[in-house]
Amino acid sequence: MRWFLLIIGAAIFIDIHSSATAAQRLPASAYLSTTYYLKSCPSFETIIHQKVNAWVKRDYTLAPAIIRLHFHDCAVRGCDASILLNRPNSERTAEASKTLRGFSLIDDIKAEVEKKCPKTVSCADILTAAARDATVLAGGPFWEVPFGRKDGKISVAKEANSVPQGYENVTSLLNFFDKMGLTFVDLVVLSGCHTVGRSTCAAVKERLYNFRGTGKADPSMNAAYVSSLKKQCGLDSNYVNFDATSPRSFDAAYYANLGKKMGLLSTDQLLYSDVRTAGVVGLMGSQAGFFKDQFLVSMVKLGNVNVLTGRNQGEVRLNCNRLNA
């Protein structure tokens, strides 16, 4: 097992040090810059930090919610704030988006930014930076976010329903991430955000009561864990933590719990049992510091997925909920 972990570690090391070079070969993300708003809106990141901090102080669960909102945005057509458009048949109205939260926080940030720097900062950049600050407030790592994204004009509900919802197999997950230009390492590492996230009981109901039509719980689940979840899930709308042991700590417990058969969604547990991802799960679970280091690398890569930066691509929305007139 040690030799396998060494190979995985080497692969991740290469991934870390080659990701920046790979990103530079992408025409769109090459135009992103950490100093993009240095002259046009120097207070931009301060405003975001203050707003995210204030909202998360009132409701800690908004931290993982904003990270999830960012993922759902980037997973469909790239990081273009298309998830924020509030109109019929948009991504926001899709079945896969029904439990997304944090829209009001983004609106609050946008309103304040428009007061300071009108018609300057995109909603896509706001959401990306807010996800970074939410990660930090949850106890995760800090990273410099490159800016310059434009807001997309297309948002289709049907496309949003392609985002993984917790019942897919590992092959489907790997294919989905590959289409975004992300690797098996990114899949496992970004799933680690579940160390501070929550899910509705509706998403795990079948695993608890009628796994694959058997009328029984999923046999891959820890029996005591099943019992605990049933007590918490009196209603489908109830929430349960992904991490049953330290849900408010951005740590590696999520991975350790998978080894105890305590993955909330089947997609969580399968990462532990599938040979293509098991090695990374083991490595992340044994080294919390390494998990945080790789998490920031994967989040930078996620934030660069299919961004719009060209002069004739997208726009800077005045209101994140609707296109400019």
Q: Residues annotated in the binding site, as ranges? A: 73, 76, 78, 80, 82, 91, 164, 194-195, 243, 251
Q: Residues annotated in the binding site for substrate, as ranges? A: 164
Whether residue 234 is contained in a domain is answered as yes
Asked if residue 248 has pLDDT above 70, the reply is yes
- Averaged pLDDT for residues 156-182: 97
Q: How many H helices and E strands in the chain? A: 14, 2
Q: Residues annotated in the binding site for heme b, as ranges? A: 194
Which of left, alpha, beta for 89 (phi over 0: left; psi -120 to 50: alpha)?
left
Whether residue 71 is contained in a domain is answered as no
Domain tally, the chain: 1
* pLDDT averaged over every residue in the chain: 93
Whether residue 259 is contained in a domain is answered as yes
- Averaged pLDDT for residues 88-101: 97
Identify the domain containing residue 238 by its residue range: 181-297
Instruction: State the pLDDT at residue 23.
Output: 41
Cβ–Cβ < 8 Å for 308, 26? no
The closest alpha carbon to 269, from 162, 166, 186, 163, belongs to 166
Q: How many other CB atoms are found less than 10 A from the CB of residue 10?
A: 10
Q: What is the CATH number of the domain that holds 240?
A: 1.10.420.10
Asked if residue 224 has pLDDT above 80, the reply is yes
Instruction: State the pLDDT at residue 11.
Output: 53
The C-alpha atoms of residue 325 and residue 322 are separated, in whole angstroms, by: 9
Residue with tokens 């660069």: 304
Asked if residue 304 has pLDDT above 90, the reply is yes
Active site residues: 72
Whether residue 5 is contained in a domain is answered as no
Asked if residue 297 has pLDDT above 80, the reply is yes
Whether residue 266 is contained in a domain is answered as yes
Whether residue 227 is contained in a domain is answered as yes
Host H or E run for residue 212: none
Whether residue 279 is contained in a domain is answered as yes
Whether residue 2 is contained in a domain is answered as no
Instruction: State the pLDDT at residue 26.
Output: 47
- Averaged pLDDT for residues 240-250: 96
The closest alpha carbon to 159, from 312, 306, 316, 323, belongs to 306
